[in-house]
Amino acid sequence: MPVVLSTTTDDKVYPDDETRFLSLEVDLSPAQSRAIVRARARRPLIPDRSDLPVWQKAMSLLAYKKGDFENLPEWMEYVATKLPLDEVRVRRDWDRFLKFCGAVALWQSFGKKRPVDISFKDYCIAFRILEPVFALTNPNGFHVQKVF
């Protein structure tokens, strides 16, 4: 699955794009700008890529294998019934959320027995990370409800 990062200086994005991507707002304060330019002034001009092999190895470990995620927990269907279904974007956001739960499960399963399935702990971690993002991505205040 490809991951695309994009930036804009516009205050708003096209409504159709808003349903296809997760939007994050950044801190535009002068204090944040000062911290960024000062940090850039202190670092070497040649980027340090010494940790790149570690990141590449970590990403390679987050790979699905045969048998993974064939048995979603039954309670996940209950969670699905609690989503704000009047918002069309929930169709895409729910899929994103489930995939992120899967990534968390893979991360948590490192070195453990296969196959991997999503646990309640994985769901809780994903919820804590993504709920604020979902809350920011919709101008109408859409957010995933806390159901447990």
Q: Is residue 16 domain-resident?
A: no
Q: Is residue 146 domain-resident?
A: no
Q: Is residue 11 domain-resident?
A: no
pLDDT at 4: 65
Helix 120-137 × helix 90-108 angle, to 10°: 140
* % of the chain exceeding 70 in pLDDT: 86
Answer whether residue 137 shows pLDDT above 50.
Answer: yes
How many folded domains does the chain comprise?
A: 1
Q: Is residue 6 domain-resident?
A: no
Is the N-terminal amide bond of 115 cis, ω within 30° of 0?
yes
Quickly state the pLDDT bin for 142 (edges 50, 70, 90). Answer: very low
Interval 49-97: pLDDT, tens:
889 999 898 888 778 888 999 988 999 999 998 888 887 778 888 988 9
**3-state class (DSSP) for residue 59:** helix
pLDDT at 146: 52
Residues spanned by the domain of 95:
25-137
